[in-house]
Amino acid sequence: MSAVLEIEGLRKTYKSRRRGVRNALDGFDMRVEAGQVHGFLGPNGSGKTTTLRTLLGLIQPDGGRMAILGHEVPGALPTVAGQVGAIVESPQFFPHFSARDTLSLLAGAGDVPAVRVDEVLELVGLRDRAGERVKTYSLGMKQRLAVASALLKNPKLLILDEPANGLDPGGIREMRTLMRTLAESGMTVVLSSHILGEIQLICDEVTIISLGRRVAAGPVEQVLAQHSHGGVRVRLDAAEDLAAAAELLGRAGVAVTRHPDHLMLAGVDKPATVSRLLAEQHLYVSELAPVAVDLESVFLEITATAPVPGQHRQVDQSAKIGEPGHAGTTGGWGA
């Protein structure tokens, strides 16, 4: 497998006279293999859009290197642009043109045959409304138009910044199917989203960004496994033995949380050791289940953006890699 997208040590500092400097990207790395659907996750303001804008040559980086399809960008952008379709942060369209006019003008500017316009309109479900002015579209319809514009070139790499924005549940599901189909046909899709259930369902790999740095990356299962913390749920045959079991496991150095009818353990490498330990004291387990974590809780944990009761988290309060002890981490067990 070859990398379709490589980013190393990307830096971007926004300078403004009034608000001073802001390190939007602080040595960010990312790698996307060919044929994947790659999820790009991060809290608001973590630098996702900045990354994509920089990658597409809209803003100039202050450091680092980027390559698309093996070509160094932004230098080689004119060469690779024909193979990259992108939408960046709910794109705007000229409000008085119809969807068909908008796409046909883009097709004209990019040497794309005119028949492709109707193909993509069909693909995103705008066929019957294509003659209406974009001004009259709902948010979701504009989003569909944006995806259509990105698909126009039949790109090798499709970059979508929050494409599910404003879509109805049906639209989200359609988008998911569309993305899978595209990936199966060999297209590589990079997809930033907040809807983590979606990402978990359709992505092969994810990159998680927080405060301009990568905090996790890899295949979805791997990221989940790395952050499951050896969580194990234990039930005993006899519920009245739970106290004894908790004490025993506590002495053995396992972090235990007591619940009325079960125990939650953390930091367990091999669940088998738990059952042996308990069996030696004649406590028999009826259930010993590694706790499955979902992407959402992993996300909240590693970006440290899980809500804390009684606090109002501000947008820039999230995990900073390289600083020990992620403030505000609450774990977050998936049930």
Q: Which residues bind ligand ADP (CB under 6 A)?
A: 14, 16, 22, 24, 42, 44-50
Q: How far is the CB of 162 from ligand ADP (least distance, A)?
A: 8
Q: Which does 46 bind (CB under 5 to 8 A by kind): another protein, ligand ADP, Mg ion, none?
A: ligand ADP
Q: Which of 63, 108, 197, 307 binds another protein (CB under 8 A)?
A: 108
Q: How far is the CB of 48 from another protein (least distance, A)?
A: 13
Any residues with CB less than 8 A from the CB of 11 and at least 6 apart, and which?
A: 23, 25, 26, 27, 28, 61, 62, 63, 64
Considering only 27, 57, 331, 332, the residue that binds another protein (CB under 8 A) is 57
Residue 47 CB, nearest approach to ligand ADP (Å): 4
Residue 135: CB minimum distance to another protein, A:
10
Residue 160 and residue 255: Cα distance in Å, rounded? 41
Calpha distance 325→311 (Å, rounded): 19
**Closest distance of CB 180 from another protein, Å:** 24
Q: Which of 17, 18, 19, 96 binds another protein (CB under 8 A)?
A: 96
Indicate the residue among 209 and 216 with the shorter CB distance to another protein: 209
Minimum distance, C-beta of residue 49 to another protein, in the bound complex (Å)? 8
Cα angle 281, 284, 286 (rounded to 5 degrees) comes to: 160
Tokens of 271: 């669940």
| One-letter amino acid of 155 | P
Nearer CB in complex with Mg ion: 190/274? 190
Q: Other C-beta atoms within 10 Å of 17: how many?
A: 5
Taking each helix axis from N to C terminus, what angle separates 139-151 and 99-109, rounded to the nearest 10 degrees?
20
Could you tell me if 214 and 207 are in contact, meaning their C-beta atoms sit under 8 angstroms apart? yes
114 contributes a contact to another protein by CB under 8 A: no
Task: State yes or no: residue 149 binds another protein (CB under 8 A).
Answer: yes
Binder of residue 78, out of ligand ADP, Mg ion, another protein, none (CB less than 5 to 8 A by kind): another protein
Q: Which residues bind Mg ion (CB under 5 A)?
A: 48-49
The torsion angles phi and psi of 157, rounded to 5 degrees, stand at: -120, 125
Question: Burial letters for 212-225: b for 16+ Cβ neighbours within 10 Å, e otherwise?
Answer: bbbbbbeebeebbe
Which residues make up the interface to another protein (CB under 8 A)? 53, 56-60, 74, 77-78, 81, 86, 88, 91-97, 101, 105-106, 108-111, 149, 153
